[in-house]
Amino acid sequence: MRALITGSSGQIGTNLALRLLEDGHEVFGVDKRENPWTDAFPTLLQDLAGHYPAFPGGIGGVEYKQVELVRTDLWHRLAAVLADHDALLCPTMAVPPWPASKAAAKRYRDERRGARISPAMTTLWNLVPQCPVISVPVGSHARAEDAGLPIGLQAVGRRWRDDVVLEIGRAVELTRA
């Protein structure tokens, strides 16, 4: 896994990064100050709260703000749904799995990239981080070519209502027991 940690020079960010490194993961940090405890992972010194110029391989302030506007719009749309509902339930994946070969995975990924479609329904919730989300297995595909492959359910809850999302996950697990 490759992890990008913002606030990587603080105590929590540093300890998380060191644990991920210890577990064999790749870590890259972003913080506005140098890390006083370690230099075990690369860190971009950048204040994400303020104006900043584009840097090689990254996005500039204009692009960052455009993404933020999309996130805000998504949040408002989701908030309207969650105003009348405790949670939103949806599949984890929008499509059945593709064959488990590198060639098939690359072909499938290239087709989806061209169509600007993500098969993972989890991507959307990465853009709306204010809401708790859980993904739990709910069964397996019945189609002969996909038989036995897992199907997942996501539960997206209201802000600060992790308890509701965890209870939904628990209920799903109990129905499968």
Angle of CA points 84, 120, 173, to nearest 5°: 65
Other CB atoms within 10 Å distance of the CB of residue 90: 17
* Best mean pLDDT range from 74-78, 87-91, 162-166: 162-166
* Rg, Å, the chain Cα set: 20
Largest Cα–Cα distance of the chain, in whole Å? 56
Can you give the pLDDT at residue 53?
56
The model carries a pTM of 0.59
3-state class (DSSP) for residue 8: coil
The residue length of the chain stands at: 177
Per-residue confidence band for 108, with pLDDT thresholds at 50, 70 and 90: confident
Question: Is pLDDT above 90 for 38?
Answer: yes
Dump pLDDT digits (tens) for 53-62. 555 556 667 7
List the structure tokens of 119: 């098969």
